[in-house]
Amino acid sequence: MAGILIYSEKDKLALELLTAGRLIAKDTGLTVNALVLNNDAQAAGLAGKGAEVYKVNDEAILIADTAAVATALQQAMGKLDASVVLLSSNRRGKELAGRLAQKISAGSLSDVSGLQVSGGKIQCSRNALGGATIATQQIDTEKAVIALAARSFEAASEQDGGEVKQLAMDSVPSAIKVIETKSKAGDVVDIQAAEVLVVVGQGVEKDYVATAEKIAKTLGGEIACSKPIATDKKWLPEDRIVGLSGKKCKPQLAIVLGISGQVQFTVGIRDASVIVAVNNDENAYMLQLADYAMVADANEVLTELNKALG
């Protein structure tokens, strides 16, 4: 029987894929193999969690070249008899999903946030219509490429029985040259990891952003924002954006201030355990999506809340 092949260039995401792969394997009887390209540490990490790892060491395979990585995956699928490929739905992974799917004539779904097996088919849930709806879809082609959104599955835990084998590849040419790589150092904060988020939107004035940040720190969390605050006003960096074109977060608590609640935003925060919304417009949709809804000026609430939490 054919199997499942997992691949992500990111170590942590690869461990999440391992969990998802095992979930599918349990209900389908498929076997799970992991492919690792030019990353010995990732291979060892996956093996430590019990994975059957096939490691390729070939510097000619350029991770920056989607076409090259897709070719490598296609070869690995053939060698390991895989029919389902699980990828991470980060920027590289989504791009790879499309290229690989076309190469192997497969249907593909990206940004998948949930999986279940029904009647031998893998059903995937993902946001549709810009996040207004959640679609449950399945791939009907013989081969399938599924890209999973980060944090949709826990990273795999320790398990025995893992091993690392070398896999040889035919040469994979590349049409792309890497001139320079710069890591986005400095203030890279992972708002997806924060347990508490204070999220500011256009109803918050510039002078009060610092107050919101202070409240976030007091509550042990981070400040985040809607898209216009980062891209138009540039009051906060873009890695703080919550929403469809930013990050999808699942904090324990989200305090959402001065945001009307368009779906492009709410898709990034609706999985929070508890939502507080503050808006001076009683018709703001965000208030309906809240556990605690307050019709008030966001700036005044920030000032008072900061004093009260002192």
Site residues (CB under 8 A) for other proteins, limited to 130-169: 130, 132-141
Q: For 242, which DSSP code? A: B
- Residue closer to other proteins by CB (options 51, 62) is 62
DSSP for 190-217 reads: -GGG-SEEEEE-TTS-GGGHHHHHHHHH
- Residue closer to other proteins by CB (options 83, 264) is 264
Q: Does 188 bind other proteins (CB under 8 A)?
A: yes
- Residue closer to other proteins by CB (options 141, 166) is 141
Site for other proteins in 5-64 (CB under 8 A): 64
**Binding range to other proteins, per CB under 8 A, among 20-28, 29-37, 159-167, 245-253:** 245-253
Whether the CB-CB separation of 89 and 111 falls below 8 Å is answered with yes
Least spacing, CB of residue 276 vs other proteins, in Å: 7
Distances (CA, A) of 54 to 64, 108, 245: 20, 23, 34
Choose among 78, 75, 79, 98: nearest CA to 145: 98
Q: Does 90 bind other proteins (CB under 8 A)?
A: yes
Which residues are bridge partners to 88 per DSSP? 148
Q: Does 184 bind other proteins (CB under 8 A)?
A: yes
Maximum Cα–Cα distance for the chain, whole Å?
65
Choose among 136, 15, 34: nearest CA to 85: 34
Q: Does 287 bind other proteins (CB under 8 A)?
A: yes
Least spacing, CB of residue 198 vs other proteins, in Å: 11
Least spacing, CB of residue 176 vs other proteins, in Å: 5
Q: Does 123 bind other proteins (CB under 8 A)?
A: yes
Which two three-digit tokens encode residue 130? 């810009």
Using CB under 8 A as the binding criterion, the count of chain residues that bind other proteins stands at 79
Q: Does 288 bind other proteins (CB under 8 A)?
A: yes
Choose among 97, 95, 77: nearest CA to 34: 77
Q: Does 128 bind other proteins (CB under 8 A)?
A: yes
Q: Does 289 bind other proteins (CB under 8 A)?
A: yes
211/266 Cα distance (integer angstroms): 23
Q: Does 309 bind other proteins (CB under 8 A)?
A: yes
